[in-house]
Amino acid sequence: MWQHLFWIFAHPWVYIIVLPAMGMVSDALPVFCRQPLVGYTLVVIATITTMILGFGVWVHHMFATGIPFMSLSFFSGASFIITIPSAVSVFAWILTIWYGKPVVKVPFLYFASFIVMFTIGGVSGVMTASVPADFQLHGTYFVVAHIHYVLIGINLFGVLGALYFWFPKMSGRMMSERLGTWAFAFIFGGFNLAFLPMHWTGLMGMPRRVYTYPEGAGWGWVNMTTTVGSFLLAFGILLVLVNVWHGLRRGKPAGDNPWDAPTLEWAVSSPPPPYNFATAPVLASRHPLWEDRLPEGSGRSSLHHGPLLDDGKEAMLTTVLDAEPDLVVKMPDDTLWPFLTTVAMTVFFGALLLHLWTWAAAGLGAILLCMLGWLWPRDDLAQTSKEAHHG
């Protein structure tokens, strides 16, 4: 039972880790390929599909726990199917490289290797999705290798690439390409030296979480390779930290848009001013800064003329499908109610765990009261102005 609860949480958690990194790659890889992402809509649909399917595959961590074969086959099938949306993303990235003219910079190195790491983490996942194979692979170092390809290969490589990509925007300075290339070489080499052979350790039958094993098991040399690789990887990470530190202090000034990237954040100064945009920009396409070079859509984004949101806390309300600016809405001011609600929820759930039923009832009542207070209609928020103030 606890195992079920744990994995219902923990499997979607993995996707929570990897999906943002996949988004970073889908966003930034095309910049270095000098063209928009191939199959943007499909990638978006694939991401949403992954999110939904991700909630239906938790049992694939529990194939060996004696669950009836009928339900195992369902979760096995679901785990196979979740490959498809990932394949969409992989093909989209590869095609973007093939149809583009890539410029090799440090972020691109991370993104390109990310595609391969993603594939390795993915296919080892497919192997464990097959129930009979998992009966053997489960609980061995094969799974340890798999999770490292997922968490480091799919998350860390994407995030490091994104760090190099957005660092100029955040700090106003560039990170050194030369140091970055060295760091990449150590991270890529070290990571693969450490974790690629680990699949083999698992196939040789080494169980997870053992502190010792018989000498005759034959796992010694692969584990040694892993140890060497992990030190190289750690040294590479150290170089990245040095690279960041050096970039902050001595980096060359970046300018607004060092990569000639197409999206909105590159239209403002680096680092961006606290107010981001003086007026709310109105967009006509996904690539406002490439519009004059791409035959895309009609109309032009207007970055310097748009509604002013200068009357207290306000936000734009746009139409649902086309995101056309529609209304300016008043946002509520800071309030204590959400905090009180969480306190009440703490009391409620804590009391449930401790079997204190009166406290639980009181907590539940308090939650309802706090939510009433939070959502109580207020006159000053009722107003919405149809006409935005134009600046």
Window 18 to 77, contacts with another protein (CB under 8 A): 34-39, 42, 64-66, 69, 72-73, 76-77
Compare residues 73 and 335 and give the one whose CB is closer to another protein. Answer: 73
Q: Which two tokens stand for residue 33?
A: 């390929």
Considering only the stretches 21-29, 157-165, 204-212, 353-361, report the one whose residues sit in contact with another protein under the rule CB under 8 A: 204-212
Q: Which residue has the tokens 């403002």?
A: 268
Structure token pair of residue 211: 């502190």
Q: Which stretch binds another protein (CB under 8 A): 175-183, 286-294, 327-335, 382-390?
A: 286-294
At closest approach, how far in Å is the CB of 295 from another protein? 6
Residues numbered 316 to 345 that lie near another protein (CB under 8 A) are none
- Among 115, 183, 232, 351, the residue binding another protein under the rule CB under 8 A is 115
Q: 316: which strand partners?
A: 328
Under 8 Å between Cβ of 198 and 144: yes
From the list 176-184, 203-211, 307-315, 380-388, the region that binds another protein by CB under 8 A is: 203-211
Q: Which residue stretch of 5-13, 87-95, 339-347, 383-391 sits at the interface with another protein (rule: CB under 8 A)?
A: 87-95
The DSSP string of 223-248 is HHHHHHHHHHHHHHHHHHHHHHHHHH
- Asked if the bond preceding 271 is cis, omega within 30° of 0, the reply is yes
The total number of residues written for the chain in this structure: 391
Interface stretch with another protein, choices 92-100, 184-192, 301-309, 314-322 (CB under 8 A):
92-100
CB of 6 to another protein, least distance (A): 12
| Binding-residue total with another protein (CB under 8 A) | 82
- The pattern of x and - marking residues 211 through 230 that bind another protein according to CB under 8 A reads xxxxxxxx------------
Could you tell me if 206 and 231 are in contact, meaning their C-beta atoms sit under 8 angstroms apart? no
Separation CA 266–CA 289 (nearest Å): 8
List binders of another protein among 242-281 (CB under 8 A).
255, 257-260, 262
Looking at residue 139, its amino acid is G
Smaller CB separation from another protein, 119 or 181: 119
Question: Helix or strand or coil: residue 359?
Answer: helix
User: Phi and psi dihedrals of 21, rounded to 5?
Assistant: -65, -40
- 365 vs 346: CA distance, rounded Å: 13
**Residue 268 contacts residue 255 (beta carbons within 8 Å):** no
Least distance to another protein, CB of residue 345, Å: 31
Cβ closest to another protein, residue 50 vs residue 124: 124
Residue nearer to another protein on the CB measure, 116 or 343 = 116
CB of 176 vs another protein, minimal distance in Å: 16
Torsion-angle region of residue 218: left (phi > 0), alpha (psi -120 to 50) or beta? left
For another protein, the closer of residues 76 and 226 by Cβ is 76
Quote the tokens at residue 84.
């498809």
CA 64 to chain centre: 30
User: Residue 41, Cβ neighbours under 10 Å: how many?
Assistant: 8
Among 5, 16, 123, 224, binds another protein (CB under 8 A): 123
**Closest approach of another protein to the CB of residue 84, in Å:** 7
Supply the minimum distance, in Å, between the C-beta of residue 354 and another protein: 23
Task: Take residue 329 and report the two structure tokens written for it.
Answer: 């809405």
Choice between 127 and 369, CB closer to another protein: 127
| Closest C-alpha among 115, 134, 121, 140 to residue 76 | 134
Q: Is residue 83 close enough to count as binding another protein by CB under 8 A? A: yes
Q: 101, exposed or middle or buried, with CB in 10 Å at 0-12, 13-18, 19+?
A: exposed
Stretch that binds another protein, among 124-132, 232-240, 242-250, 325-333 (CB under 8 A): 124-132
By CB under 8 A, name the one of 290, 301, 314, 363 that touches another protein.
290
For another protein, give the closer residue by CB, 96 or 301. Answer: 96
